[in-house]
């Protein structure tokens, strides 16, 4: 699986090796017929376009050949949909908002000329989202009936293309309501935009900026939210209502609902929890002493062996853990009973880790549902919803917190559990925190301030928590940035500014610690060769990285670039219940040691172990420790 562009939604990567594409079912046709029974001719089938499909696939040896193999299949699907009554078919081609799309323009001309010739009765909507068209002048000439453009995330360039007259003879499906965030639409601003568009295109249709699967279903049941906040939100149902009101207003009808929306929007903007307040950042350190100096102090304090072993943070959340948490939330057990249960799980897993002979331990994160919502429940400026679930993949959903106001540290976030764990062992226990970039990227963020300001606000809050952990005697503190790359803008020209802001916020959070305090961070699978300089600039003493799903790409990144700090490349895949063999783990330790020094290398699993079962977790960690000891012995000789 990979992330769908720069969202938190996942897709399964198609693999082309030794495969002949063919249709296996009529699912899209069946869904269209089902939808048509409800809404009639308004139903619009949606399919990922052939160019985007192949571009996001793996093991494609000949791009053009792969696309051509798909075209007869698309033709068959389009003909079946047309026979069932489909007038418009939305063909999603978001690859054409990326830099990669610039090299696929000839493919686009070929594909859509083929469709125009072979299925002329079908009106194709060439749909893009998440950014502006990479080459509007060329793409606007495609022989399609309509273009779907994102006027939220690609506002400036897409508007310029329209004002330049590129779509004056085309229908434009204008994405003017944000499909990725949950704030009510600014009707005044959007109405002005729609009037501009209406004068410059052949026919105007208004729609969300992208699929609404990225937001929850409805605000109707969120009765615990402050009223001014609830009225300023728009989940999927409310966004559809917004589209109706905007269309009516464009036609000269201004209903009471439209006026109420304006009042609700203004009330949220005026709320006193939205006054940006950042302490003077000039006085906040963002530079630690040289890593070589820190490393000597940390080695003397921690006394860790060569190739230290650790885990990423979480341990299996058993059915008993989930049942107990649910009972506590329902009020069936008291706070004290719940805290005692969490302490018992922490103690049990500290003992397990000691018995396994791991070098650096973790408390297991049994008190946390996930690595972002937990912090959202404890920081000022955040709130959480009751039913704000969003699909991540398949049947898995997440419930992102909402950042609605200024973020501040107002209470300890994790100190109690980590300090308790440390009291049970002489081995170092890592404090476990989520970093400012990941918290932002996995939340519904404010849209009224810059991302840089938001990163910095959260960075300051995490800095305060790190200080509490450090003062409590915690010598190793991990600040996870699992989603650092996920938030990377799709266009290379915009990426460095984001990375600079991200690095700055991370260093705000982590640079005030003593030299002897070791800062770790963790990242999930990414194309690290693209951002290796920024990873180095984080200046974390140790970074651990998910490696197994990259098919060697991540390891190669660090084999071809100088990386002077501590690093742990995951030595087994935690996404599978399979227990690795000792030989496999040894090989996964030794390969990076061809380039990285044994003094800088850490041994750890790929990611947290929350979703695994206890027996396979213990068995895999046992293999990890045994393999590490065998490799250590080689380096002692």
> What are the tens digits of pLDDT across the range 500-516?
999 999 999 999 999 99
Question: At residue 429, does pLDDT exceed 90?
Answer: yes
3 state SS of 85:
coil
HEC assignment per residue over 293-308: HHHHHHHHHHCCCCCC
User: In whole numbers, what is the pLDDT of the chain averaged over residues?
Assistant: 94
Cα 483 to Cα 120: distance, rounded to the nearest angstrom: 43
Buried b / exposed e along 264-284 (16+ C-beta atoms within 10 A): bbeebeeeeebeeeeeeeeeb
Q: Tell me which fold the domain 292-636 belongs to.
A: TIM Barrel (3.20.20)
Mean pLDDT of 2-12: 93
Question: At residue 276, does pLDDT exceed 80?
Answer: no
Question: At residue 29, does pLDDT exceed 80?
Answer: yes
Mean pLDDT of 458-479: 98
Q: What is the pLDDT of residue 388?
A: 97
Mean pLDDT of 49-78: 97
Percentage of residues in the chain having pLDDT higher than 70: 97
Mean pLDDT of 7-24: 92
Pairing of strands 203-208, 379-383: unpaired
How many Cβ atoms sit within 10 Å of the Cβ of residue 574? 22
Q: What is the pLDDT of residue 275?
A: 66
Q: Under 8 Å CB-to-CB from 367, ≥6 apart: which residues?
A: 342, 374, 417
Mean pLDDT of 65-78: 98
Question: At residue 270, does pLDDT exceed 70?
Answer: yes
Direct distance between the N- and C-terminal alpha carbons of the chain, in angstroms, rounded to an integer: 42
Pairing of strands 2-3, 10-11: antiparallel
Domain 2-215, CATH number (from 3.30.1370.10, 3.40.630.30, 3.20.20.210, 3.40.50.300): 3.20.20.210
Q: What is the pLDDT of residue 636?
A: 78
Mean pLDDT of 479-506: 96
Pairing of strands 146-150, 171-177: parallel
Pairing of strands 542-545, 566-569: parallel
Domains 2-215 and 292-636 share a fold: yes
pLDDT in tens, 595-620: 889 999 999 999 999 989 999 999 99
Question: At residue 176, does pLDDT exceed 90?
Answer: yes
Mean pLDDT of 405-413: 95
pLDDT in tens, 218-267: 999 999 999 999 999 999 999 999 999 999 999 999 899 999 999 999 99
Q: What is the pLDDT of residue 557?
A: 72
How many CA atoms does the CB half-sphere of 380 hold within 13 Å?
A: 15
Cα 293 to Cα 203: distance, rounded to the nearest angstrom: 65
As to burial, measured by CB atoms within 10 angstroms (0-12 exposed, 13-18 middle, 19+ buried), residue 512 is middle
pTM metric for this prediction: 0.94
Question: At residue 551, does pLDDT exceed 60?
Answer: no
Percentage of residues in the chain having pLDDT higher than 90: 87
Q: What is the pLDDT of residue 366?
A: 96
Write out the two tokens for 9: 């939604």
Mind telling me the catalytic residues?
Answer: 575
- CB of 578 within 8 A of CB of 606? no
* Domain parsing of the chain, residue ranges: 2-215, 292-636
């Amino acid at each position: 699986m990979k992330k769908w562009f720069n969202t938190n939604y996942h897709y399964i990567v198609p693999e082309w090796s030794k495969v002949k594409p063919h249709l296996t079912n009529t699912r899209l046709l069946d869904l269209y017929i089902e939808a048509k029974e409800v809404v009639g001719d308004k139903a619009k089938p949606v399919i990922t376009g052939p160019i985007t499909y192949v571009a996001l696939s793996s093991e494609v040896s000949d791009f053009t050949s792969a696309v051509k193999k798909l075209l007869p299949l698309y033709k068959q699907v389009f003909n079946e949909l047309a026979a069932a009554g489909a007038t418009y078919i939305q063909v999603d081609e978001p690859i054409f908002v990326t830099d990669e799309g610039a090299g696929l323009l000839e493919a686009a001309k070929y594909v859509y000329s083929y469709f125009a010739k072979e299925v002329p009765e079908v009106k194709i909507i060439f749909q893009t989202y998440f950014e502006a068209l990479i080459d509007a002048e060329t793409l606007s000439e495609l022989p399609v009936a309509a273009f779907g453009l994102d006027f939220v995330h690609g506002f400036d360039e897409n508007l310029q293309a329209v004002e330049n007259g590129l779509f004056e003879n085309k229908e434009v499906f204008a994405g003017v309501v944000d499909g990725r965030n949950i704030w009510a639409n600014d009707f005044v601003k959007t109405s002005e935009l729609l009037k501009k568009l209406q004068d410059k295109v052949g026919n105007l249709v208004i729609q969300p900026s992208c699929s609404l699967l990225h937001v929850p279903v409805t605000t109707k049941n969120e009765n615990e939210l402050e009223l001014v906040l609830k009225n300023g939100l728009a989940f999927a149902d409310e966004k559809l209502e917004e589209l109706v009101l905007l269309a009516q207003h464009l036609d000269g009808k201004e209903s009471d609902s439209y006026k109420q929306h304006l009042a609700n929007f203004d009330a949220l903007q005026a709320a006193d929890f939205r006054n940006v307040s950042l302490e003077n950042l000039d006085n906040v350190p963002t530079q630690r002493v040289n890593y070589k100096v820190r490393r000597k102090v940390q080695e003397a304090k921690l006394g860790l062996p060569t190739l230290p072993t650790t885990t990423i943070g979480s341990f299996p959340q058993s059915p008993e853990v989930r049942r107990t948490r649910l009972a506590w939330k329902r009020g069936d057990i008291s706070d004290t009973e719940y805290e005692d249960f969490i302490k018992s799980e922490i103690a049990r897993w500290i003992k397990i880790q000691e018995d396994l002979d791991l070098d650096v331990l973790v408390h297991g994160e049994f008190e946390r549902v996930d690595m972002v919502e937990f912090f959202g429940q404890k920081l000022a400026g955040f709130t959480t919803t009751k039913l704000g679930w969003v699909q991540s993949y398949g049947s898995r959903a997440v419930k992102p917190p909402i950042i609605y106001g200024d973020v501040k540290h107002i209470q300890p976030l994790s100190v109690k559990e980590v300090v308790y764990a440390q009291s049970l062992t002489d081995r170092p226990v890592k404090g476990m925190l989520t970093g400012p970039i990941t918290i932002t990227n996995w939340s519904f963020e404010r849209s009224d301030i810059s991302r840089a300001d938001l990163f910095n606000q959260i960075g300051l809050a995490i800095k305060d928590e790190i200080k509490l952990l450090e003062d409590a005697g915690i010598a190793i503190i991990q600040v996870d940035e699992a989603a650092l790359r996920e938030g990377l803008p799709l266009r290379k020209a915009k990426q460095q500014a984001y990375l600079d802001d991200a690095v700055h916020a991370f260093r705000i959070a982590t640079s005030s610690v003593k030299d002897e305090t070791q800062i770790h961070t963790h990242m999930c699978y990414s194309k690290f060769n693209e951002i290796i300089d920024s990873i180095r600039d984080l200046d974390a003493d140790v970074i651990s990285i998910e490696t197994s799903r990259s098919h060697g790409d991540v390891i190669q990144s660090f084999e071809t670039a100088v990386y002077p700090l501590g690093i742990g490349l995951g030595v087994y895949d935690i996404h599978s219940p399979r227990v690795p063999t000792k030989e496999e783990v040894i090989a996964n330790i030794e390969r990076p040691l061809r380039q990285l020094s044994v003094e800088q290398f850490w041994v750890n699993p790929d990611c947290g172990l929350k979703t695994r079962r206890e027996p396979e977790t213990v068995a895999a960690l046992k293999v990890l420790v045994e393999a590490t000891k065998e490799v250590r012995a080689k380096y002692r000789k």
